[in-house]
Structure 1
Amino acid sequence: MITDKDVIYEDNHLIAINKRAGDIVQEDTTGDKSLEDMVKEYLAEKYNKPNAAFLGVIHRLDRPVSGMILFAKTSKALDRMNRMFHDRDVSKSYLAVVRNRPPKQADTLKNWLLRDRKKMITKAYDREVKGGSFAQLDYEVVGELDGYYLLKVTPLTGRTHQIRCQLAYMECPIVGDNKYGYPRGSLRRSICLHSRSLTFNHPVKDEKMTIVAELPHDGFWEKFNVLL
């Protein structure tokens, strides 16, 4: 269920939600209720639209990832935002918590990623591989707290599981992400990866804007607010 406190930003064309870890963006084989459907219900009730409100999915987040996700409320906004994402005219920023100290304070990671569809994981290589896709991200260490390291991650390409895979390849798997090498999974179906912000030109107003999602209130993430 979506409430006003989950909404980060809303106007006539866009609505931004601070997604909870464990929510799926779109319906899948689990049959669990999707965030897309929850936002549709929220808008239908808020604006008294019994036949449901238009909602377009612009981008996605993995189920165990929390944070900023943007939906379109009009077809015009959806078309224009899709084009911006395709042309990489949108800047994304993530926060990740890792246990191992990264080898550098800041760096650019470049890999070729190959999706294993049977195991539903992505594998990273330091050379070009057949069927692989080039992936690049920037990271910097924001700070250290109680033996954990908070990273700011800026993906420059948009590949499936890119951040999870590339950080694991650097031997810094994300806390809770046992799919990519962290020794323990989370009981809350979450990993410590948070979609922090999106920066883009508004698809209708053509004004540059940045939308920021607060860290989850889950007893762990709040500690890292002191580093921000």
Structure 2
Amino acid sequence: MREFHIQKNDSGQRLNKFLEKAVPALPGGLMHKYVRLKRIKVNGKRTEPAYKLCEGDLLQLYINDEFFERPSEQAAYEKITAPRVHVLYEDDNILLADKQPGMVVHADERGDTDTLIAHIQAHLAQSGQWNPKDEASFVPALCNRIDRNTGGIVIAAKNAEALRIMNDKIKNHELQKRYLCVVHGSPKVRSGKITHFLRRDEAKRQVEVFTRPTPGAKTAQTIYKVLASRGGLSLVECTLLTGRTHQIRAQMAAIGHPLLGDGKYGTNAKNKPYGETSQLLYSYKLTFNFQTDSGILSDLDGMTFTVHDVPFVKKYFPGFQIGG
């Protein structure tokens, strides 16, 4: 018999979800069977898979030891001796990381485990901010994600409450994300709002752009502003009003100004003279604009964080200063 004393980070989640993480070798069907047979109890009583765990609960599992055996392979973060995390901001609840282009945020279809979240977990473990042995199921997690070849600000939650609150804030559009990108050409209209309807094509792994409502397409809105133009290129700031896949890349291409280096929505022929093989796009500014209760994250309300050192800005627009 094994017991779990439910701590704060594990409270508030359904029993079945907790068991998926705490006892990953236990098949779902068998878990439901053991609940029915009262081999899984909460506070010594019969329970249900949908029961929401509370801090202080005692979970008792009368199941074979084999289900508690952990895989022999090390977790990805345990293999990292020198975490590569560019910390933009950090407090007791969240960490803002400046992700470098080329790094994936989570393991992808290529099986790459050298990920941003693994490096963040290694950083937290090695600095004593997170002890996996003290947690039954919670691990520090990312609240947002950006593409492999896009750089910029990514939010990580250090505890379950921060993760829940931040996910709600993102869902309710209480964060403002601004990007810098380099585009081909110089838009005649120097600023404005672009509205399109985007539909994802899973086979091509890209989105289709429509100018009117189309079945399966979602509204995409971006505010853009040209900050500088030089040598057939422009530096553009884009503010997301919606958060669709490849939104900026697809919309800027749709108005005739694809991102430099973007072979998916632009053309390699135009990119080749510059030697760029991936989109020049950076999530450089993040503002917290909370409209609802923010609990332990209340100190973040009204704060703006900016990455001032964006490599492609220096390369193509020397002398341009990124503001606060």
Q: TM-score, normalised by structure 1?
A: 0.90
Contact 1:20–1:66 (CA under 8 A) maintained in structure 2: yes
Shift of 1:145: 2.8
1:21 matched to 2:115? The reply is: no
Contact 1:135–1:156 (CA under 8 A) maintained in structure 2: yes
Q: Matches of 1:147 and 1:133 in 2, distance apart?
A: 32
1:216 matched to 2:299? The reply is: no
Hey, what does 1:69 align to over in structure 2? Answer: 154
1:226 matched to 2:319? The reply is: yes
Contact 1:22–1:188 (CA under 8 A) maintained in structure 2: no
| Residues 189, 79 of structure 1: alpha-carbon distance in 2 compared, 3 angstrom cutoff | farther
Hey, what does 1:101 align to over in structure 2? Answer: 186
Q: 1:23-76 CA distances to partner (integer Å, 9 max, x unpaired)?
A: 111111111122111111111112275637831211110111011111111111
Q: Matches of 1:10 and 1:48 in 2, distance apart?
A: 11
Shift of 1:200: 0.7
SS at match of 2:119: helix
Larger fraction in helix: 2
Contact 1:113–1:125 (CA under 8 A) maintained in structure 2: yes
Q: 1:159-185 CA distances to partner (integer Å, 9 max, x unpaired)?
A: 011111101111111010111113237
Q: Matches of 1:66 and 1:222 in 2, distance apart?
A: 15
Shift of 1:195: 0.2
Contact 2:260–2:276 (CA under 8 A) maintained in structure 1: no
* Counterparts of residues 173-192 of structure 1 (less than 5 Å): 173-183=258-268, 184=271, 190-192=278-280
Letter in 2 for 1:221: V
Q: Matches of 1:152 and 1:225 in 2, distance apart?
A: 16
User: Which structure exhibits the higher relative contact order, with contacts defined as CA atoms closer than 8 Å and separated by 6 or more residues?
Assistant: 1
Q: TM-score, normalised by structure 2?
A: 0.65
Shift of 1:201: 4.8
Given candidates 125, 129, 134, the residue that maps to 1:44 is 125
SS at match of 2:319: helix
| % identical aligned pairs | 32
1:165 matched to 2:250? The reply is: yes
Q: Matches of 1:2 and 1:189 in 2, distance apart?
A: 27
Shift of 1:3: 3.8
SS at match of 1:62: coil
| Residues 188, 149 of structure 1: alpha-carbon distance in 2 compared, 3 angstrom cutoff | closer
Q: Matches of 1:225 and 1:113 in 2, distance apart?
A: 34
Structure 1 vs Structure 2 CA RMSD:
2.2
Q: 1:179-210 CA distances to partner (integer Å, 9 max, x unpaired)?
A: 11132379776321000111115742413211
Letter in 2 for 1:76: E
Shift of 1:225: 6.1
Hey, what does 2:4 align to over in structure 1? Answer: none
Q: Matches of 1:208 and 1:59 in 2, distance apart?
A: 19
Contact 1:9–1:17 (CA under 8 A) maintained in structure 2: yes
- The gaps in structure 2 that reach 5 residues or longer are 1-81
Contact 1:98–1:175 (CA under 8 A) maintained in structure 2: yes
Q: 1:135-159 CA distances to partner (integer Å, 9 max, x unpaired)?
A: 1010010011333200010010010
SS at match of 1:226: coil
SS at match of 1:141: strand
Letter in 1 for 2:119: M
| Residues 187, 34 of structure 1: alpha-carbon distance in 2 compared, 3 angstrom cutoff | farther
SS at match of 1:22: coil
Larger fraction in strand: 1
Q: Matches of 2:115 and 2:84 in 1, distance apart?
A: 15
Hey, what does 2:209 align to over in structure 1? Answer: 124
Letter in 2 for 1:117: E
